[in-house]
Copies of this chain bind each other. A is one copy, B any other.
Amino acid sequence: MCAKPKSTPRGAAGKPRGRGKPAYHHGDLRRALLDASVALIARDGVEALSLREVAREAGVSPAAPYHHFASKSELLGAIAGLGFAGLGQAMEQAIAALPDPEEPLARLSALGRAYIDFARAHPTEFRLMFRPALVTRTDLPPGCDPEDSFALLLDAVARVARVVPPGLVTPDALALASWSIVHGAAELLLDGPLATKQGSLPIAPEQVGPLVVAVLPALLRAAAGNARAAQ
C-alpha cells in the first residue's frame, strides 16, 4: 500500500557514516529531504519553504535535490502522496480497531474521526493534499492513489445508505454531505477561525472531532428519510 519501495537504494544506512568526512553519498537523501521539508513547512509555512534551505538542512548542495525530485512542486507532491498514504492507513486502522467493523454507523463514525484526527496530527501533509495548485502530481505507485483513501469513506457512507431506507436524498448526496462535513471541520480546524482566534465558536480544537462525529449519524438518519437506522 504505497510503502517506501526501497529502504536504502544505494550506499549504507540512513546516517552519514561515523568517519570524519561527511560522505559524498548521503545514504537516503530522498527521505531526508522529505523529512526536512515537512519540518520546515511546519515551522514557517509552505510559502516560506525554499529548496535550498531544505538542501542545507540535509547537508547537501542546492542542486542535489534535483536528482530525487524534478522540481520543488514535485517534492511537495511527494509529501502530499505521503499524506494520502497516511490517511488511508489511519482509516484502515480505525476500522480494524472497531469491535464490530461491519456495523455501518460505527464504521462511518470511526472513519470520520480518523479523518479529522489525521488532519490535526499531520497538518502539513493534509494541507498539501488539498492545495493542487502548489503540487505537481507525480504518478504514484498503485494503492497510493488519492481516490483509494477516499473510497473507504465513500464506501462507508454507501453501507449506511444500504441499511437505511431510501429517503429524501440520493446516496450520492449523502456521501457528499458526509465528506463535506468531515472535510470542512478539518479545514476550519486548521486554517479557519477555529484555529486563528476561535472567537466565532466557543469550541476547543480537540472537541471538533467528537462533535462532528456525534452529528454524523443523525445526519444520515434524517437525510435518509427519518427512518430508524440499524442499531
Interface majority SS on A: helix, strand, loop or mixed? helix
Q: CB within 8 Å of B: which of A157-184? A: 168-169, 172-177, 179-184
Task: Work out how many copies of this chain go into the complex.
Answer: 2
Closest to A148 in B: B200
Which of B154, B184, B192, B200 contacts A201, CB < 8 Å?
B154
How far in angstroms is the closest Cβ of chain B from A221?
6
A132 at the interface (CB under 8 A from B): yes
The interface bits of chain A over 181-207 (1 if a CB of B lies within 8 angstroms of the residue's CB, else 0) are: 111111110011101100111110000
The answer on a CB contact under 8 Å between A176 and B203 is yes
The answer on a CB contact under 8 Å between B181 and A201 is no
Closest to A208 in B: B176
Closest to A202 in B: B172
Closest 10 CB pairs of A and B: A184-B184, A222-B222, A180-B184, A45-B133, A180-B185, A218-B222, A183-B184, A181-B181, A177-B215, A173-B211
Using a CB–CB cutoff of 8 Å, the interface residues on chain A facing chain B are 45-47, 130-134, 146-147, 150-151, 154, 168-169, 172-177, 179-188, 191-193, 195-196, 199-203, 208, 211-212, 214-215, 218-219, 221-223, 226
List 15 additional contacts besides A147-B200, A177-B212, A219-B223; criterion CB under 8 Å. Answer: A47-B133, A130-B187, A132-B196, A147-B193, A173-B215, A179-B184, A179-B201, A180-B181, A180-B182, A180-B188, A183-B188, A215-B223, A221-B222, A222-B222, A222-B226
